[in-house]
Amino acid sequence: MGRLGVLLLALFALMAVGSFLPPLIDPMYHPMTGVDPEITRATPPSWRHWLGTDFIGRDLLSQLLAGARVAFMVGISAAFVSVVIGTALGLVAGYAGRWTDTVLMRLADMIMVMPTLLVVLMMAVFFGQLSIWSIVLMIALFRWPGVSRVIRSRTLTLKHRPFIEAARIAGASHLRILIVHLLPNVLPLALLYMTFRVTSAIIIEAALAFLGFGDPGTVSWGMMLQWVWKTGHMSQAPCWLLPPGICISLLTLSFYLLGRAMDEVLDPRLRKEKGVG
């Protein structure tokens, strides 16, 4: 699973890097503003446009490549911020205990029960069109509680270990114990949950863009699906409809497979069960 996930991830990384090339070849391949002067409607694949064009003559392959770059940017950024917040609060809650633990975990519980997509949609209606970085921030702020609870549980098992007691007796400050002794031990678990948070961030951004609440100045896979739906080409242009949907599915699958492989590496029980099977 891990090898397949890395292979798919490498493919999409190449697509994201390659998204900068089409506009350099010809301005008409710019995913947002480039238009083929000879085309004014959606067309099937051709030598000039390998996936065809949309309803105003923009190249679909250029949009697909740009969507890969946006998906990586949104997914990794939102996951990284949520994991940083969740890890920090989980460490503090598990190590401090008492009322600090209670307050932070009750806050995590309140945020965890909120439907992220619905809340972000309501905020988009209230504030208007959201920029891509506003979407990243909102996704991160609603996806940290799950990470914090896992990190808290791990911290509770570690803080009474002999090496923590030895550090405390040696005069280490609370901050030093958190950063030097506890953080390295929970970091692999945080990185594991980051892979799963990437998938949810990509799906939420695609859903927001499809529903019309994405960044209007950014070409994403969700925005491509919105355009094909609003212009009535759902059944008339399969090369416009299918590629972004397939890419969303495969990219989220690659991060899921990578996370499952990391889970087996970090959890000896899973390796033992796999060996027995």
Q: Where are the domains positioned within the chain?
A: 2-271
Which whole-number Å values give the CA distances from 87 to 75, 175, 183, in the listed order?
Answer: 18, 14, 8
The model's pTM: 0.86
CATH architecture label of 2-271: Orthogonal Bundle (1.10)
Per-residue pLDDT tens over the stretch 98-137? 898 999 999 998 888 888 778 888 887 777 777 888 889 9
**Residues 90/155, Cβ–Cβ less than 8 Å:** yes
Per-residue pLDDT tens over the stretch 19-38? 999 999 999 999 998 999 88
Q: What is the residue whose two structure tokens read 């000039």? A: 48
**Residues 59/38, Cβ–Cβ less than 8 Å:** no
Instruction: At 14, list the tokens.
Output: 């190449």
Distance from the first to the final alpha carbon of the chain? 16
**Residues 180/238, Cβ–Cβ less than 8 Å:** no
